[in-house]
Amino acid sequence: MSTTLRHHYRPRGAAAEVFASRAPEVLLSGPAGTGKSRAALEKLHAMMLATPGARGLIVRKTLVSLGSTGLVTWREKVAAESIAAGHVVWYGGSQQEAAAYRYSNGSTVVVGGLDKPQKVMSSEYDFIFVQEAIELTIDDWEALTTRLRNGRISFQQLIADCNPWTPSHWLKQRADRGDTLMLHSRHEDNPTLFREDGTLTEGGEAYIGKLEKLTGVRYHRLRHGRWVAAEGLIYEEFDPAVHVVERFDIPESWTRWWTVDFGFTNPFVLQCWAEDPDGRLYLYREIYKTRTLVEDHAKHILRLVRECEECCKSRATDHDCHECKACRLVWAEPRPRAIICDHDAEDRATLERHLGMSTIAARKGVSDGIQATQARFRPAGDGRPRIFFLRDALVERDPELEDAKKPCSTAEEITGYVWDTSPGKPPKETPVKQDDHGMDAARYMVAQKDLGARPRIRTLGR
């Protein structure tokens, strides 16, 4: 006995175009909140339901990031009725098979990340959806296209979504050459933001109102979805496919450094850097948070780097090893060689007191610090740059900054970090002092390594 399920989805704009397209490669480009992922996933689900034995793939650069984004939309909005009725069942995977959603008609949607490609790349598919394609390299993309050969559907298709980036990005160039069909998704396509007559919904008024307050490149990209580069961009060499890397086990022998840029209304930034034997720097942990006291940041930092080696075995439900004087805490990673701070004397004293460690004042020269950092972004003699950012370095996103559509990490600041071209300003000497707190902290790190003398450190215990 068959069961009729009702599912409501009415695509508009680029979402409707993607349903009609049979192009081998389709890129849904647009700012967040336009419904790009929803459109691609709805098409994938419809194709699996309509074609017994078809195979699809939902993929992102890392599996962990996919689990908190695209798969939530899939479970709660796209396939919710089919999952509830038992027509689509989750299979957790095995040593031989990748994790997947299995359909009662024999179709399968595999789920995976390109950080662990063995299982997802060993199969053939009719349809692939790539979320946040800006994270991929051209090699990733081309490897995926070779897996589109299952042949159960009359056409094979790769659909990806992304937020706009610089015009020189390989995805934009691929679309400009005609290799990939780019569809431009707009906020006006999202029925939760705009009615069909073009007027804003109540939720749309609040959301679009925040975007309209943005300036510069962030306004063009996040409101209108334009592939533009910031005029006067300082770190032109930054490429997320090169400089943003996956987490790896950092050897204990690598030197650690911390840099701090103080703030309360503006973000407080702590950066934890690891230096490899060749002098390359890796940002492996970052706190980027507003409206928190320095002493509370210090407590949070110590929780991140220390663990309980000898617990008092208290049975109290509220027992906290980090607050218990009977427990023995030890460092879970090497101590920093230096904590390089902004010059605020009061905040430095507070941080030292609550960390139990001394700090040193940062070398604050802006122009020479920027030049040294620019040099690290460029490939060295071996073809590799000398500064990297781990993709998951940020400890947690600040909801207030996220709600205001402001950068929530150092990596998110880079593409809006520009020279101040106001009348009377010397060209390429002074950056615009806005959304630059992570940039300052990163500059402190590079200046200490490349421009400053080796610090003398005293440790205050703990």
227: left (phi over 0), alpha (psi -120 to 50) or beta: beta
**Which superfamily is assigned to 14-191 in CATH?**
P-loop containing nucleotide triphosphate hydrolases (3.40.50.300)
Q: Say if residues 44 and 58 touch (Cβ distance below 8 Å).
A: yes
pLDDT at 462: 46
Note whether 14-191 and 240-295+335-450 share their fold.
no
User: What six digits make up the tokens of 75?
Assistant: 């479970």
pLDDT for 456 equals 45
Taking residues 57-72, what's their average pLDDT?
A: 87
Per CATH, the number for 240-295+335-450 is 3.30.420.280
Q: What is the pTM of this model?
A: 0.74
- Hunting for tokens 């073009």 — which residue is that? 198
Q: Are strands 25-29 and 55-60 parallel, antiparallel or unpaired?
A: unpaired
Q: Which two tokens stand for residue 158?
A: 């790769």
160-207 tens-digit pLDDT? 999 998 888 999 999 999 999 999 999 999 999 999 999 999 999 999
Across the chain, what does the average pLDDT equal?
92
How many whole angstroms separate alpha carbon 396 and alpha carbon 236?
27
* Interval 373-428: pLDDT, tens: 999 999 999 999 999 999 899 999 999 999 888 999 999 999 889 999 888 888 88
Amino acid 459: pLDDT: 46
Q: pLDDT exceeding 70 applies to what percent of the chain? A: 97
DSSP at 123: S
Q: How far apart are CA 185 and CA 198, in angstroms?
A: 15
Domain ranges of the chain: 14-191, 240-295+335-450
C-alpha separations of 42 from 49, 86, 185 in Å: 11, 18, 15
Identify whether the C-beta of residue 450 lies closer than 8 Å to the C-beta of residue 372. yes
Rounded to a whole number of angstroms, the distance between the first and last alpha carbons of the chain is 69
